[in-house]
Amino acid sequence: MIRILDIAFKDLLQLSRDFKTFMFLIIMPIIFTFLFGYAFGGFGGGDSDSRLPVGYLSQDDSWVTDALHDLLAESDVIRLDENVFRSASDLEKLVADDELAAAIIVPDGYGKAVLKDKTARLTLIADTGSSAWTTIQADILATASRLDSAVRTAAIMDELAGERTPFKYAFKQALSAWDEPPIAVTETTSPAIKKTSSQGMSLAHTSPGMMLQFAIAGLLTAAQIIVTERKSRTLQRLLTTATRRVHILFGHYLAIFILIFAQFTLLITFGQFILKVDYLRVPNAALLVAFSAALCISAMGLLIGILARTEEQAIIFSLIPMFVLSGLGGAWVPLEFTGATFQIIGHLSPVAWGMDGFENICVRGLGFESVLLPAGALAGYAVLFFILAAWRLGAAEEK
C-alpha cells in the first residue's frame, strides 16, 4: 500500500507543476460552459414568449370586437402582433414569409352580426399545411365561440329580466364565468422539484457536459507522465525492485482518480453556487455520479498512458476520445433531441451515462435511485478499461 501511495504522490507532484493540467481541468470547462451556455440561451435576459405570433387587423368599430380582441390577447396559444399601419396585403406577405404564424382580420360589421345572431365570419390567413395551423385554428374558434355564447346568454337574460339585468352587464358576467369553469384540468408538480427556467435547463446540460468532456481532455497530461516514465526506463527499474506491477498500476490510477475527482468537486461547487445548477439537490446522488465518472475516466487515462508510446500519441489518444465520446454521449447536444437509434449508439459512450446521472438530478428532478444505473454503467467501464490497461502492460513487458 505504501508503494501505491508513493507512486500516486509522485505523479500528483509532477501534475501540479504543469499549468496545462490546471487549464484543461478547471479553466477550459468553465470557459466552454459559459460559451455553450450563452449559445443555447443560458444567459439570456429572460424567458421568451413561446406563443405563436399572429397578426391582427380590425376593420370593425364595435365594443363586441374590442371584447374579441381582449380575449385573443389573453390566449395562452397565440400572441397578437399588431401594427395599425399594416394592411391585409401586408399580413399576407408576412405570413407567406413565415414571419407570422397566421393573421386574423376582423371585417367591418362583425360586431353587429354577432349581436343580431347572424353569421359572423373572421378572415384567417395561414399556411394550412403547417403544423401550427390546427392549433391556431382551434384556439381562435374556441375564442369566437366563447364570445358568441356570452352574447347569446346576455340576450336571453336581457329578454327575461329586462332592466334588472342590463345586456352589457350580463355579457360581462357570462364572459367572466369562463374564467372559473365547472371542470378544470390542473397540472401540479411535486414541491420537491423546483421549477427550472429555460436558461437554467440550458446550463444544467452544458455544465456537466463540459465537465465530463474536459476531464477526458485533461488525461493527456497524466498519460504523458506514464509515457515519460516508460521512455526514461523508470518503469523497468521499478519492476526490478520489490514494487510489483499491480502497485504501479494502482499508483498511477490513484493519482489520476484524485485529480479527476478533485476537478469534479470544484466544478460542481462552481456550478451550484455560481451557475445555479442544482447539483446538490440530492447530494449523495451527485457524489455517487461524480465518483463513478472519476473511476471510469481515470481508468481510461491509465489505458491511454500505457498504450501511447510517445507524448504525441498521448495527446492524440486523449483528444480523439474527448471529441468522439463527448459528441456521441450528448455533451454538446442532449440525446433527447436525437432519434432513438442515435440514443442507443450514444449510450455506448460512458459520457452518456455520466450525463444521464447528472441530468436525472439537475433537470429531471429524480431521486437517488435514478443514478444507480448510470453509476453502475460507469463503474463497469472503469473495470473494463483497467483490465485492458493491466493486460496491455503485461504484454508490453513480455516483448
At residue 193, the pLDDT reads 47
Half-sphere exposure of 10 (CA within 13 A, CB side): 14
**Euclidean distance between the first and final Cα of the chain, in Å?**
28
Query: Which residues lie closer than 8 Å to 162 by C-beta, 6 or more apart?
Result: none
At residue 173, the pLDDT reads 80
Which of 116-125, 158-167, 314-323, 373-382 has the highest average model confidence (pLDDT)?
373-382
At residue 257, the pLDDT reads 94
Alpha-carbon distance 293 to 212, whole Å? 8
Cell of 383: 473495470
Query: Is residue 246 pLDDT above 80, yes or no?
Result: yes
Query: Is residue 284 pLDDT above 70, yes or no?
Result: yes
Q: What is the reported pTM? A: 0.65
Alpha-carbon distance 126 to 96, whole Å? 8
At residue 198, the pLDDT reads 52
Split at pLDDT 50, 70, 90, the class of 292 is very high
Q: Per residue in 156-186, pLDDT tens? A: 887 787 677 788 888 888 777 766 655 555 5
Alpha-carbon distance 372 to 393, whole Å? 31
At residue 104, the pLDDT reads 94
Query: Which residues lie closer than 8 Å to 70 by C-beta, 6 or more apart?
Result: none
Alpha-carbon distance 109 to 166, whole Å? 23
Q: Indicate the average pLDDT of the chain.
A: 84
At residue 130, the pLDDT reads 80
Lowest mean pLDDT among 119-128, 196-205, 237-246, 384-393: 196-205
All structural domains of the chain, each given as residue ranges with its CATH number in brackets, are: 2-42+200-398 (no CATH), 52-177 (3.40.190.10)
% of the chain exceeding 90 in pLDDT = 39
Lowest mean pLDDT among 12-26, 144-158, 320-334: 12-26
